Amino acid sequence: MNSAELSNLPEPDLAARDHSARVVAAVRGEIARSGGWITFADYMQLVLYAPGLGYYVAGTRKFGGAGDFVTAPETTPLFAQALAAQVAPILAATTAGELVEFGAGSGALAADLMNALAKVGALPSRYAILDVSPELRERQRAEIARRAPDHIGCFEWLEALPAMIDGAVVMNEVLDAVPPHLVLRREGAWFERGVACTEALHWEDRPLAHDSLRAAAISRFPEAGDYLSEINPAAEALVEDVGRRMTGGAMLIIDYGFPQAEFYHAQRSEGTLMGHYRHHSHADPFLWPGLSDLTAHIDFTAMALAGERAGLRVAGYAPQAAFLIGCGILERLRERGDSASVSYLRESAAVQKLTSPAEMGELFKVLALAKGEDIAWPGFAVIDRSHRL
């Protein structure tokens, strides 16, 4: 990013700068141990998840107005209430009726979803949360105890994937933070873009060594021209692994992204990698490592195929707006009462953000991968774009 863009970002305080310097030192050490170069996937794994250092595990505020971004559950409880309309029939179609959430963030979705399920008599047998951050797990416990005190006993935090899952799996803005590889075709030759270090961290391209990455890029990239984009075998492997553990129910993946034909469009020739810092998006992955989030969009076709390899079927795929409308978010909004009241106007603005094509309504998608057959799908009653995957 150029100096003008950088000057518009809030400055981190001294303690934050010191922390970022420790993260950079850890990256430098890993680069030195690896012969002077690491893949971007390894770099992103370090700066986001290195124990005690990474963005998601080091204790800084990530979510909400005081953090770096706001996820859908933080905008309004109506998001969880609408989601409950889809989770409830998934739970009803299973024997165990359990709910497993990956990357529960602040805990807002878990608390509000449990409250909404209780209201319709569809409480899960347990609500299991799998999160990599010990600090976030404590924040989630506190938030759930505050927002859903009557149900805190139903929650448990897992250290590893359960051997079997019979129920609903929710991944809300999880896969975008799984580190991808950056693959580059330049003048007909294939490279992997990684990170090296001289005086500072910088990009360095090396010949692509992994046949699987090359095969994926050949099948997905446009046929001609120089092209750089993400390939994410780790995200695909996670979906496949979870799918193989499911004995019933369905997985709901909610994230920003595209089907493959749109993801690897010729005009999207620089990929989708983004940074997020204090509610500002930026394009510099070396900006304050450890303080700035890094994400990439989701190839929903790849996730659907990963689910199918695990024995799941695509039950639906829709823009977030259509999914939430099908799940009754507008009806929930009307239940807020007087349309001139402050509370109604606040919730109305949040629903607008969630459903507007100019904000989260179209860029965010919902993909359902089902193990069970007898599940009702209100979320795809308005639109189902499964044929585009």
Q: What is the DSSP letter of 163?
A: S
95 CB neighbour count, 10 Å cutoff: 12
Q: What is the DSSP letter of 140?
A: H
What is the C-alpha to C-alpha distance for residues 294 and 286, in angstroms, rounded to an integer? 10
Measuring CA to CA, which residue among 334, 351, 326, 42 is closest to residue 201? 42
**Cα separation values, 318 from 259, 268, 321, 325, 350, Å:** 11, 21, 8, 11, 20
Measuring CA to CA, which residue among 169, 141, 159, 96 is closest to residue 367? 169
Q: What is the pLDDT of residues 333-386, one digit of tens each?
A: 999 888 888 889 999 999 999 999 999 999 999 999 999 789 999 999 999 999
Q: What is the pLDDT of residues 301-338, one digit of tens each?
A: 999 999 999 999 999 999 999 999 999 999 999 998 88
Q: Which amino acid is at 96?
A: A
Q: What is the pLDDT of residues 183-231, one digit of tens each?
A: 999 999 999 999 999 999 999 999 999 999 999 999 999 999 999 999 9
For the chain, percent of residues with pLDDT exceeding 90: 85
Residue 6: the pLDDT is 55
Strand partners, 368: 252, 316
Q: What is the pLDDT of residues 152-170, one digit of tens each?
A: 999 999 999 999 999 999 9
Phi, psi of 238, deg, nearest 5:
-65, -45
What is the C-alpha to C-alpha distance for residues 160 and 172, in angstroms, rounded to an integer? 18
Q: What is the pTM of this model?
A: 0.94
H helix intervals, 34-124: 40-49, 72-75, 77-92, 108-119
CB 368 within 8 A of CB 314: yes
- Enumerate the domain spans of the chain: 20-389
Q: Which amino acid is at 76?
A: T
Residue 223 makes CB contacts below 8 A (sequence gap 6+) with: none
208 CB neighbour count, 10 Å cutoff: 18
What is the C-alpha to C-alpha distance for residues 246 and 168, in angstroms, rounded to an integer? 9
Q: Structurally, what CATH architecture does the domain formed by 20-389 represent?
A: 3-Layer(aba) Sandwich (3.40)
Q: What is the pLDDT of residues 64-83, one digit of tens each?
A: 455 455 788 989 999 999 99
